[in-house]
């Protein structure tokens, strides 16, 4: 059985991505952030051979968009709310543990993905909690059956993770590190400040 990493991605068009962030910093900057975050994430995790990466794209008309690298497989997310689309990914992939992430958490590394798959060796599910009550990763072992975990979720709220965990009652669930979702101006500025402080000094020879 293979390991599957699914990256849920929107076509990075102005006005269609990071709309809440755009309200704080403008559409151009928000779209540029999303495009950069998507490209950097796929560069970090999309080439790893320890798992197979699939980009789940919305809208379906963007499947051939040049915004997504040709080297990574693509599939359409399909219709429905976020839960319906993620459940479709879990249900439709070939056998093997599967992990789903989004594209607006710049801190995600291959180490986090490795940790998620390790956790699924002894657990039914794994989640990576966010600082806003949601989560940046969810994974299922998908054996001996595929769990249905997205019923009655209050998305984009402080209750998102708790609602999901309630659907996983009775299952063994592991938690990863808490990471920050860059979804508004203060989070975006904090990220930029952190990046400027951690840039390596330029060598003078």
Q: What tens-digit pLDDT sequence spans the chain (205 residues)?
A: 799 999 999 999 898 888 888 888 899 999 998 999 999 999 999 989 999 999 999 999 999 999 899 899 999 999 999 999 999 999 999 999 999 999 888 889 999 999 999 999 999 999 999 988 999 999 999 999 999 999 999 998 999 999 999 999 999 999 999 998 888 788 788 877 655 444 443 333 3
The Cα-based distances of 138 to 62, 99, 119, 176, 204 in angstroms read: 24, 6, 11, 10, 44
> In terms of DSSP bridges, do strands 52-58 and 73-76 run parallel, antiparallel, or are they unpaired?
parallel
The pLDDT, as a whole number, for residue 105 is: 86
∠ CA 163-166-172, nearest 5°, is: 130
- CATH 3.90.550.10 is right for the domain spanning 4-194: yes
The pLDDT, as a whole number, for residue 124 is: 98
The pLDDT, as a whole number, for residue 106 is: 86
Domain boundaries in the chain? 4-194
The pLDDT, as a whole number, for residue 140 is: 98
The pLDDT, as a whole number, for residue 204 is: 35
Whole-model pTM: value is 0.90
- The residues with which 101 forms a beta bridge, in sequence order, are 7, 137
């Amino acid at each position: 059985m293979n390991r599957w990493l699914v990256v849920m991605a929107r076509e990075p068009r102005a006005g269609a991505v990071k709309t809440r962030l755009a309200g704080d910093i403008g559409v151009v900057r928000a779209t540029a952030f999303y495009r950069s975050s998507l490209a950097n994430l796929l560069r970090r995790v999309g080439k790893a051979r320890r798992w197979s990466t699939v980009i789940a794209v919305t809208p379906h008309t963007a499947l051939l968009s040049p915004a997504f690298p040709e080297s990574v497989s693509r599939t359409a997310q399909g219709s429905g709310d976020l839960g319906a689309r993620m459940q479709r990914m879990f249900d439709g992939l070939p056998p093997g543990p599967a992990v789903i992430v989004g594209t607006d958490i710049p801190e995600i590394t291959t180490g986090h993905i490795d940790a998620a798959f390790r956790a699924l060796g002894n657990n039914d599910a794994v989640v990576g909690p966010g600082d806003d009550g949601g989560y940046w990763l969810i994974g299922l072992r998908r054996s001996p059956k595929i769990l249905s975990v997205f019923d009655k979720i209050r998305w984009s709220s402080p209750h998102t993770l708790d609602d999901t965990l309630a659907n996983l009652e009775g299952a063994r669930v592991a938690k990863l590190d808490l990471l920050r979702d860059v979804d508004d101006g203060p989070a975006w500025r904090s990220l930029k400040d952190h990046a400027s402080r951690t840039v390596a000094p330029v060598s003078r020879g």
